[in-house]
Amino acid sequence: SVVGFDNQEVIANYLRPSLTTVALPFRQMGETGVALLAKLAANRNLAPLQHIVQCPLVERTSVRLPVPAS
Protein backbone atom coordinates (compact mmCIF):
# COMPACT_ATOMS: atom_id res chain seq x y z
CA SER A 1 0.00 0.00 0.00
CA VAL A 2 1.02 3.59 -0.62
CA VAL A 3 -0.53 6.38 1.44
CA GLY A 4 -0.20 10.14 1.09
CA PHE A 5 -1.09 12.94 3.45
CA ASP A 6 -3.37 15.98 3.16
CA ASN A 7 -5.98 14.46 0.79
CA GLN A 8 -5.16 16.65 -2.20
CA GLU A 9 -7.95 15.18 -4.33
CA VAL A 10 -6.70 16.55 -7.66
CA ILE A 11 -3.36 14.81 -7.18
CA ALA A 12 -4.73 11.69 -5.47
CA ASN A 13 -7.27 11.03 -8.23
CA TYR A 14 -4.82 11.85 -11.04
CA LEU A 15 -2.36 9.14 -10.00
CA ARG A 16 -2.77 5.50 -11.04
CA PRO A 17 -3.53 3.75 -8.82
CA SER A 18 -5.38 6.60 -7.15
CA LEU A 19 -3.60 7.54 -3.94
CA THR A 20 -5.02 6.67 -0.54
CA THR A 21 -4.56 9.65 1.77
CA VAL A 22 -5.12 10.97 5.26
CA ALA A 23 -7.51 13.95 5.25
CA LEU A 24 -6.81 17.01 7.36
CA PRO A 25 -9.95 18.80 8.62
CA PHE A 26 -8.57 22.32 8.13
CA ARG A 27 -11.78 24.13 9.07
CA GLN A 28 -12.17 22.18 12.31
CA MET A 29 -8.49 22.69 13.12
CA GLY A 30 -8.82 26.45 12.57
CA GLU A 31 -12.01 26.75 14.61
CA THR A 32 -10.47 24.74 17.44
CA GLY A 33 -7.32 26.84 17.36
CA VAL A 34 -9.28 30.09 17.55
CA ALA A 35 -11.41 28.77 20.44
CA LEU A 36 -8.31 27.69 22.37
CA LEU A 37 -6.64 31.03 21.68
CA ALA A 38 -9.73 32.87 22.98
CA LYS A 39 -9.60 30.83 26.20
CA LEU A 40 -5.93 31.68 26.61
CA ALA A 41 -6.58 35.39 25.96
CA ALA A 42 -9.30 35.38 28.64
CA ASN A 43 -7.11 33.60 31.19
CA ARG A 44 -3.34 33.75 30.73
CA ASN A 45 -2.85 31.41 33.69
CA LEU A 46 -4.40 28.43 31.91
CA ALA A 47 -2.47 25.20 31.91
CA PRO A 48 -1.30 24.04 28.46
CA LEU A 49 -4.23 22.77 26.40
CA GLN A 50 -4.34 19.84 24.03
CA HIS A 51 -7.09 18.94 21.58
CA ILE A 52 -7.14 15.87 19.34
CA VAL A 53 -8.73 16.23 15.90
CA GLN A 54 -9.66 13.12 13.93
CA CYS A 55 -7.93 12.81 10.54
CA PRO A 56 -9.83 10.21 8.52
CA LEU A 57 -8.21 7.76 6.12
CA VAL A 58 -9.54 8.20 2.56
CA GLU A 59 -9.07 4.79 0.94
CA ARG A 60 -8.53 4.71 -2.80
CA THR A 61 -7.00 2.07 -5.05
CA SER A 62 -3.42 2.37 -3.74
CA VAL A 63 -4.30 0.32 -0.66
CA ARG A 64 -4.63 -3.45 -0.55
CA LEU A 65 -3.89 -6.44 1.64
CA PRO A 66 -0.30 -7.73 1.63
CA VAL A 67 0.51 -10.52 -0.80
CA PRO A 68 1.36 -13.73 1.09
CA ALA A 69 5.04 -14.73 1.02
CA SER A 70 5.83 -17.57 -1.37
pTM for the model: 0.70
Query: Could you read off the pLDDT of 3-62 as tens digits, one per residue?
Result: 999 999 899 999 999 999 999 999 999 999 999 999 999 998 888 888 899 999 999 999
Q: How far is CA 17 from the centre of its chain?
A: 20
CA distance 68 to 64: 12
Question: What's residue 46's pLDDT?
Answer: 86
Q: Where are the domains of the chain?
A: 3-58
For 7-38, the three-class secondary structure string (H helix, E strand, C coil) is: CCHHHHHHCCCCCEEECCCHHHHHHHHHHHHH
What number of residues does the chain have?
70
Question: What's residue 49's pLDDT?
Answer: 80
CA distance 9 to 12: 5
